Amino acid sequence: MASEKRTIVLTGASDGIGAIAARALSGPSTNLILVGRSPQKLAPIAAETGATSFTADFADLAQVRDLAAQISGSVESIDVLMNNAGGTFDHKDRTADGHEPNFQINHLAPFLLTHLLRDRLAAAGSSLVLNTASVGNLAGSVDFDDLDFEKRRALALRPYGTAKLMNIQFTRGISQRWSDDKIYSAAVHPGPAATSFGRDSRFVGLAYRSPITRLVTITPEQGAAPLIALAERGADPSVNGVYFSRHKPNGLENRQAHDQKLIDGLWEKSAELTGLN
């Protein structure tokens, strides 16, 4: 069983809502492990919160495997895994593994990390995997013949929205497959927080930082609040498989989000692409 001190692993912790969540979740009752891409940006957050920190670039799956080994070597169990790392990326770029970056960084990398940490999640007695998704899932479309957008037109937010749709499908996959180990999973749309989101995509970055957009965005603190609340709630079976739109369960979802063939197919394809089967 887990000790009284909870272990929380939070990716994407070096800025934005991740850094705010790190500050809020830190404390004497929490063993906090933070993950970021930039050691320079992550170091002050880790120092401020007293957390253990590891760096990894999710555009390189070898780094994700190393990260999982480092985390597993530092803890015996994990109570909450917060898959928060991600963003919007230029679909024309390719990762070190040859994938479309929205697909790999937002989906494949956390899929791999979560699987490699499954034994630590199970060791907690009951645990929660929390995936940061987005209302952008409505713009997504999962096509197993073109997961890397080599054939389809990658209009506007479609590659990002597709990856966020996959986050919800992955959440459902965990809820269906791992509940016997009392590993539960939820997905959450934090809201349109005014952060550095979109910095890696010229189109989205310009749109997100326009004066008009600022009128409809919420503060980073407001954006982090649903993640913090769900992390503090922890391994609650009632959230298992649920997609939250901020604090409200059952947010607006793409019709593919509940398609069982797609949920199963994505799980199998992702396992194949990450070398898990």
The active-site residue out of 160, 184, 208, 243 is: 160
Separation CA 172–CA 182 (nearest Å) = 14
DSSP state letter for 12 = S
Separation CA 125–CA 226 (nearest Å) = 24
CA distances from 97 to 87, 104, 143, 168, 182 (A): 18, 9, 19, 23, 32
Handedness of CA 172, 97, 81, 12 (dihedral sign): negative
In the three-class reduction of DSSP (H, G, I as helix; E, B as strand; rest coil), residue 54 is classed as strand
Q: Quick one: which of 55, 54, 8 has its CA closest to 27? A: 8
Does 184 participate in catalysis according to the annotation? no
Asked whether 82 and 21 are in contact (CB, 8 A), the reply is yes
Rg (CA), the chain: 17
Extract the tokens encoding 188: 């959450």
Task: Report the alpha-carbon angle 218-27-192, nearest 5.
Answer: 10
Separation CA 226–CA 203 (nearest Å) = 27
CA distances from 18 to 5, 58, 170, 179 (A): 21, 16, 20, 26
Task: Report the alpha-carbon angle 262-263-264, nearest 5.
Answer: 90
Task: Give the residue numbers annotated as catalytic, written as ranges.
Answer: 160
